[in-house]
Amino acid sequence: MRPPSNPRIRLVVLLLLAAAVGLVPTHPATAAGTASTKVFTADAQPTWQTNGIVWAVTYVRGVIYIGGNFSTVRPPGAAPGTREVARDNLAAFDANTGDLLPLSHRFTSPQHAFSGAKPDVSCDVDWDSQVYSCDTIYRIKASPDGSTIYVAGDFTHVDGQVRTKIAAFGASRDNAPLDTRFAPTGINSRVRALAVGSQSVYAGGLFTQAGGAARTRLAAFDRSSGALTSFNASADAEVIALSLSADQSRLVVGGNYNRLNGVAQHALGAVNPSTGRSTAWAWRGVPRTSYITDLVADSNAVYMTANGEGTWDGRAAVDPATGRLKWFDSCLGASWAAALHGDLLYTGSHAHNCNDTDGGFPEQATDMPEPRYYRLLAQTTRGSSTSIQYWFPSTNGGDPNIPATRSVSKLGPRALASDGRSIWVGGQFTTVNDKPQQGLTRFTLTAKSIAPSTPAAPTVQNSGQNQVTVTWRGVEDLDDPTVTYQVYRGSTVVYRVRGSAKPWETKKTYSFVDRGLTAGSSVRYTVRAVDGHGTAGASSPAATATVGRSAQEPDPWADDQWGHERAPWSDWDDPWGGW
Ligand SMILES: [Ca+2]
C-alpha cells in the first residue's frame, strides 16, 4: 500500500498502526535479534524461466519444484518465445546445477464462458473468445519424510484423471507418475493453502465440500489413502496459508476470514491438527483490512506475511503454542511469500517504506508515480524485534505489457524456498535487478557479491594553482552498504575514499582536489566503486580538464550536473571520511 504522503500524517498512521497491533515502539533503538546465518549475495544466478506466473516453490531432496500458471519453461538468458520446453503449470529443477528435470504432467479444468462479466484474471482467459479455465497450481508442499510432493490449486484433472484441486507425486528426479492412492475427490473450489504432517494433508481455500462431505474452507486427508479425515474446522472466508508448528501440535491458519470455527477471529489462528478445534491464540492484532498471505514455521515461531489496504502489510513472528506475538515489522508494501534459511526470514513483497524497522529504508522516489520497491528482504527471526539485513536485490512487479485489468496485482515475487545453498524466488516478475528474467530466479551464498553501480561521469574543474577538483555522485550496491571509490587520473588511482552505497543515500556527492599538476596539461578522470567483498563496478565515463596556473575559483554554491547543491568543504583531503 501507499502511505499518506504527508510525513506527519504518516507518522501518526504508523503509531496508530503500532498501537493497533499491540506493540508501540518506545524508541527506534529497540534491540533487534541478530542472525548467525550468512546472507545470500544479491547477484542473481543463471536460472530457468517460465512464460507465466510462479505461485509455488518447494525444495525437497535435491530438487526444486515450481508450480503456477505457465505452459513453457526456457533456459537462462533465453528471450520469451525462444528455446521453450513445454511444462504445464509444474516443473522441477536440479537444485544444485539448476538444470531442468523431466517432471511433466498436464493440469486441466473445464472451460467457462464469461460474456461481459470480468473473469478471474488469475485464470487462463481468452479475451477474444470470452472463455476462461482455471487450472493454476498455488501450493506445493512436501511430506515431512521427503517422499512425496502435494500439489494444490484450481485444476480438476491431472493427465486426464480426476483430481479435484489436489494431487500427489513421488518426490523424484525422474518424471514420477501421479500417485494413484492419494486421490481426494469432491473438492468443489480452489485450494490455496497446504500443510503436510506425517499422517495428514491439510487443505485450505475457498471450497465448501470435500471428499463427499461438508468442509468449509478447511479439510484434511489421510496421507496414505487420500480419504477425508474426521478433522473438521471452518473459516467464513478464504484460507490462504497453512503451516504446522515445528512440533506438529498446532495447525496455524492464515487468510482473509473473520470467523474461525464460528468464533470471531480475524485472519490468523490455530487449530488442533487432529480434531480441528481452535486452540489458544493471544495476538488479535491483524487489522480488519489486512490478511495473512503466507506462513512458515521453525522451532522458534511461525512467521507470516500480510497484505493490507491502507494498513499493516508487513511480517510478524508468533509463538504457535500460545499465539503470542514475538515481533512484527510495520514496513509498508504488500507481502506475499516467506521462506526460512537458517535463522533468517526471506520474504517477497513490494516493500517501499521500512523506515521504522531496524536496518530499514525510507520511502524513495516520492515524486514518481510509484515509489522505489525493495521486493526481496532478509531479516532476523530471533528476539523480540527484527532487523532487516543489507540484501536488496529486487524484481519488477510483472509484465508491463499486460494491462493491470487483465492481471492479478503486479507484486513481483510470489513464492520462495531455500535449498540450503540458494534461495529460489518465483513470481510474476519479468526482470531481476533490472535485467530480463521471467518467473524464477535464485541467489546463492557462493556467487560473487553484486558489483556496485557505475558512477556517472565526474565533474572536473580547473581550480587554479595547478589543481583540478573532481566531483562525483554516489553509487548504490545491493549487498554491501559501503564501497570504496577509486578516482583515476588516466590509468593511475590518485584517490580513494569510502562512502555509503545505500540506495537511499546515493544523492551524496564526493570531491577530491588533485594537486601539483602541470599547467596547460589535459587531465582525464574516471571513477569506479569497489565493494566490501572486493567486487569492482565499471568505470564511469571520463571527464577531462585543462590544468590552470592562475586561480580560477569555482562558484562553491553552483549546482552540480545532477542538480544537487555542492558542499565543497566535505570530504576534501579526507581519505576515510566522506560518509
Ligand atoms: Ca556488492
Domain containing residue 499: CATH number: 2.60.40.10
- The rounded Å distance from CA 391 to ligand 1 centre is 9
- The rounded Å distance from CA 554 to ligand 1 centre is 34
pLDDT in tens, 286-295: 999 999 999 9
Q: Assign 115 a pLDDT band (cuts: 50, 70, 90).
A: confident
Q: Assign 553 a pLDDT band (cuts: 50, 70, 90).
A: low
**Alpha-carbon distance values, 25 to 21, 165, 175, 302, 357 (Å):** 11, 43, 52, 22, 10
pLDDT in tens, 242-264: 999 999 999 999 999 999 999 99
- The rounded Å distance from CA 379 to ligand 1 centre is 18
Q: Is residue 109 part of a domain?
A: no
358 and 456 fall within a common domain: no
Question: Which percentage of the chain shows pLDDT scores above 90?
Answer: 84
Question: Of 260, 417, 248, which Cα lies nearest the Cα of 320?
Answer: 248
pLDDT in tens, 6-37: 444 444 445 455 444 444 433 344 456 788 99
Question: Of 52, 208, 49, which Cα lies nearest the Cα of 125?
Answer: 52
Out of 420, 444, 468, a domain closes at: 444
Residue 94 burial by Cβ neighbours in a 10 Å radius (0-12, 13-18, 19+): middle
- The rounded Å distance from CA 195 to ligand 1 centre is 37
Please give the pLDDT value at position 17.
53
Range of the domain at 383: 7-37+48-103+138-148+189-444
- The rounded Å distance from CA 442 to ligand 1 centre is 16
- The rounded Å distance from CA 84 to ligand 1 centre is 32
User: Across residues 407-436, what is the average pLDDT?
Assistant: 96
What CA–CA distance (Å, rounded) separates 195 from 56?
Answer: 13
- Residue 213 makes CB contacts below 8 A (sequence gap 6+) with 228
- The rounded Å distance from CA 222 to ligand 1 centre is 48
Q: Is residue 70 part of a domain?
A: yes
- The rounded Å distance from CA 513 to ligand 1 centre is 27
Q: Is residue 220 part of a domain?
A: yes
- The rounded Å distance from CA 502 to ligand 1 centre is 11
Residue 480 confidence (pLDDT) above 60: yes
Sheet holding 148-153, edge to edge: 137-142, 148-153, 166-170
Contact 141, 149 (CB under 8 A): yes
Contact 49, 66 (CB under 8 A): no
202 and 313 fall within a common domain: yes
Please give the pLDDT value at position 65.
98
- The rounded Å distance from CA 394 to ligand 1 centre is 14
pLDDT in tens, 404-420: 899 999 999 999 999 99
- The rounded Å distance from CA 47 to ligand 1 centre is 20
With a threshold of 0.85, does the pTM exceed it? yes
- The rounded Å distance from CA 307 to ligand 1 centre is 30
pLDDT in tens, 172-198: 999 999 999 999 989 999 999 999 999
Q: Is residue 153 part of a domain?
A: no
Please give the pLDDT value at position 555.
53
Q: Is residue 481 part of a domain?
A: yes
- The rounded Å distance from CA 302 to ligand 1 centre is 31
Domain containing residue 408: CATH number: 2.130.10.10
- The rounded Å distance from CA 516 to ligand 1 centre is 34
Higher pLDDT, 367 or 557: 367
Among 201-205, 219-223, 310-314, 494-498, which stretch is predicted with the lowest mean pLDDT?
310-314
Residue 566 confidence (pLDDT) above 70: no
Residue 52 confidence (pLDDT) above 80: yes
User: Across residues 58-84, what is the average pLDDT?
Assistant: 98
Contact 302, 366 (CB under 8 A): no
Please give the pLDDT value at position 203.
98
- The rounded Å distance from CA 320 to ligand 1 centre is 37
pLDDT in tens, 137-168: 999 999 999 999 999 999 999 999 999 999 99
- The rounded Å distance from CA 478 to ligand 1 centre is 6
Among 264-273, 479-488, 545-554, which stretch is predicted with the lowest mean pLDDT?
545-554
- The rounded Å distance from CA 528 to ligand 1 centre is 13
Residue 576 confidence (pLDDT) above 60: no
- The rounded Å distance from CA 350 to ligand 1 centre is 22
Q: How many domains does the chain have?
A: 2
Please give the pLDDT value at position 309.
83
- The rounded Å distance from CA 532 to ligand 1 centre is 7
Residue 258 burial by Cβ neighbours in a 10 Å radius (0-12, 13-18, 19+): middle
- The rounded Å distance from CA 531 to ligand 1 centre is 5
Q: Assign 357 a pLDDT band (cuts: 50, 70, 90).
A: very high
What CA–CA distance (Å, rounded) separates 514 from 537?
Answer: 22
- The rounded Å distance from CA 536 to ligand 1 centre is 8
Tell me the one-letter amino acid at 70.
F
- The rounded Å distance from CA 450 to ligand 1 centre is 4
Residue 86 burial by Cβ neighbours in a 10 Å radius (0-12, 13-18, 19+): exposed
Q: What is the mean pLDDT of the chain?
A: 91
Q: Is residue 130 part of a domain?
A: no
Out of 401, 416, 444, a domain closes at: 444
Out of 399, 418, 444, a domain closes at: 444
- The rounded Å distance from CA 134 to ligand 1 centre is 42
- The rounded Å distance from CA 396 to ligand 1 centre is 20
- The rounded Å distance from CA 476 to ligand 1 centre is 9
